[in-house]
Amino acid sequence: MENNQELQSLLDRTVAVCRSLTGDGRQATYIPELATVDPSLFSVSSATLGGALVSSGDTGARFSMQSMSKVMSLSFALEKFGYDEVFSHVGMEPCSEPFNSIMKLEMTSSTPLNPFINSGSIVIAGLIAGRIGAGAMEEMLDFASRMTGSKNGLAVNERVYMSESSTADRNRALAYFMRSSGTLSFEVEKSLDLYFRLCSIEVGTDDLAVMGATLANAGVNPLTGERLTSVDTSYTVTGIMSVCGLYDESGWFAVKAGIPAKSGVSGGIVCAVPGRMGLAVFSPPLGKGGNSVAGVEAVSRLSMELKLRGM
């Protein structure tokens, strides 16, 4: 089913059913600005490889990418520095510890298990900041804007950035630990600054659905026709989304929904189903594993109805 009207009524039904779940879970508060977001907001978007963008719910809602930006920074780093270079700094294995855990870093090796946990993404940000220098954030915003097909260009939400940057003791601990072991090759504060800014880029579910569709379309944005990544990069990124995308609930989500996805603590989930479509949901209240409760349910229902599982 990818007829736009059918897709629209499926999304409308999904929003109607899953909205009742927005009361379950609690939104993130460890970044104070995230606690100020209206928890009842709920939106769902889909972008087909034919270039149709269909959405439902509070589609005007804007929120910060948080960990969903890790999909974009990994894509960018693979394009700029290549597979061998990137995976000499981070692994690609799932992590059974929380996203901001320091334990695995110390106990196993000093290399982060994958690029979607905070330590791994800080290493990727350090690589980008160190190699590109002062223009890194501008280049990243341009890349993100083109990947999402954003007409006016994406921007950082400065309040979220300040809120995160001023309360990030845990991420600073991770970064200083990795700097001491030589895993983080660039300056701690400059690496973190890029990481915080990337997490604070503001989007809506339409933007994220197109970003997912770009990866699903082997690296070509289906709305603009622009190639953003190589075919290999798109497969590498969606592969890692499949096994590492929902924190330490990635295995559970793979069984429940069965599609490549990445969540963020703002309550969004971006999905890229190779050869089919991009999907995105937003609902701030999170479950115990840090994933949007209504969002996971909506993605699972859409995956089943659209027969996306196992694509």
Choose between 186 and 220: whose C-beta lies nearer to ligand GLU. 186
**Stretch (H or E) spanning 47:** strand 43-48
Q: Shortest CA distance to 92 belongs to which of 76, 70, 69? A: 70
Classify 34 as helix, strand or coil. helix
Choose between 120 and 278: whose C-beta lies nearer to ligand GLU. 120
Choose between 34 and 259: whose C-beta lies nearer to ligand GLU. 34
Looking at this protein, which amino acid is placed at residue 241? M
Q: Give min distance, CB of 246 to ligand GLU, in A.
A: 10
Q: Give min distance, CB of 105 to ligand GLU, in A.
A: 15
Q: Give min distance, CB of 99 to ligand GLU, in A.
A: 5
Contact 211, 270 (CB under 8 A): yes
Alpha helices in 30-168 (DSSP H): 69-81, 83-86, 103-107, 118-132, 136-148, 158-165
Q: Give min distance, CB of 239 to ligand GLU, in A.
A: 19
d(CA 311, CA 302): 14
Choose between 44 and 199: whose C-beta lies nearer to ligand GLU. 199
Choose between 95 and 220: whose C-beta lies nearer to ligand GLU. 95
Q: Give min distance, CB of 118 to ligand GLU, in A.
A: 5
Q: Which residues bind ligand GLU (CB under 6 A)?
A: 66-67, 99-100, 118, 164, 171, 199, 264-265
Contact 272, 241 (CB under 8 A): yes
Q: Shortest CA distance to 109 belongs to which of 90, 137, 128, 136? A: 90
Q: Give min distance, CB of 295 to ligand GLU, in A.
A: 13
Choose between 186 and 195: whose C-beta lies nearer to ligand GLU. 195
Choose between 55 and 66: whose C-beta lies nearer to ligand GLU. 66
Residue appearing with tokens 């260009």: 153
Contact 149, 90 (CB under 8 A): no
Q: Three-state SS across 161-225?
A: HHHHHCCCHHHHHHHHHHHHCCCCCCCHHHHHHHHHHHHCEEECHHHHHHHHHHHHCCCECCCCC
Q: Give min distance, CB of 15 to ligand GLU, in A.
A: 23
